Amino acid sequence: MDPHVKSDSSVLSELHSDFDALGRRPTKKQRYSDSMQTPEERKEREEILERARAAENIRKRKTEEEEAQIGADEAERARFSGVFDAMKQNAFKHVHEFVTSLFKSTNQATSAQAGRLLSDHGEEIFNVMAAINPEVATKWAHRWMLEVYTAEAKKLWKLFRPGEGGKVQLIERFSLEALMKKMEATAP
């Protein structure tokens, strides 16, 4: 027999394989149904599925939060960019220059707005600055209080300075109650 000539059985076998490849549906695998599981297996399977769903929900929430944060960051950047651009268009080269001009303004309306800003939100603004850089805020507070205490000490020094009658007259006029009232009025 010629090796190049195919036998009938080999031709039939090729036709069957071609038919399978061209469209015969593969048989379905038999599924492992719930009815074949024990209650313990079913419960374990449900717990595994529930944990997988919970993990997927957490992952989705985290992704959504990250996307929201990115969106918020972009929105914040755009808002500040717009403010900085407006400041530059109005001849303020730096934020410092704008803030300093705001608080030194001689315009009555602008000065009133700056005063309301400090009255209503000054403590909050200072607390935010202190949270960002506590050392600088502490230095500012100490420097400010030193000025206040120095001014009050000068007023008290003038109050206690002996007048024309000298020290003797000061001692003769001494009244602790009157002295406390004067001190409170002079250096609250």
pLDDT at site 69:
86
In this predicted structure, the answer to whether residue 7 has a pLDDT above a threshold of 60 is no
Q: How confident is the model at residue 164 (pLDDT cuts 50, 70, 90)?
A: low
Q: What is the pLDDT of residue 181?
A: 79
Query: Is the Cα dihedral 111, 117, 118, 119 positive or negative?
Result: positive
pLDDT at 19 over 80: no
Instruction: Please tell me the predicted confidence (pLDDT) of residue 66.
Output: 86
**Whether 187 contacts 155, CB under 8 Å:** yes
Q: Does residue 143 have a pLDDT over 90? A: yes
pLDDT band at residue 171 under the 50/70/90 scheme: low
Buried b vs exposed e over 81-102: b needs ≥16 C-beta within 10 Å? eeeeeeeeeeebeeeeebeeee
Write down the pLDDT at residue 133: 93
64-100 pLDDT, tens digit each: 888 888 888 888 888 888 888 888 888 888 888 988 9
SS (H, E, C) the chain: CCCCCCCHHHHHHHHHHHHHHCCCCCCCCCCCCHHHCCHHHHHHHHHHHHHHHHHHHHHHHHHHHHHHHHHHHHHHHHHHHHHHHHHHHCCCCCHHHHHHHHHHCCCHHHHHHHHHHHHHHHHHHHHHHHHHCHHHHHHHHHHHHHHHHHHHHHHHHHHHCCCCCHHHHHHHCCCHHHHHHHHHHHCC
Which pLDDT belongs to residue 10? 57
Select the more confidently predicted residue: 35 or 89. 89
Residue whose entry in the numeric block shows the structure tokens 């109650």: 177
Q: What's the gap between Cα 162 and its chain centre?
A: 58
Copy the structure tokens of residue 109: 């309306």
Mean of pLDDT values over 153-157: 82
Per-residue pLDDT band at 162 (split at 50, 70, 90): low
pLDDT at 108: 93
User: Cα angle vertex 83, ends 87, 76, to 5°?
Assistant: 155
pLDDT tens-digit series, residues 95-133 = 889 889 988 999 999 999 999 999 999 999 989 999 999
Q: Is the pLDDT of residue 184 over 90?
A: no
Stretch 135-153: mean pLDDT, rounded? 90
pLDDT of residue 142: 92
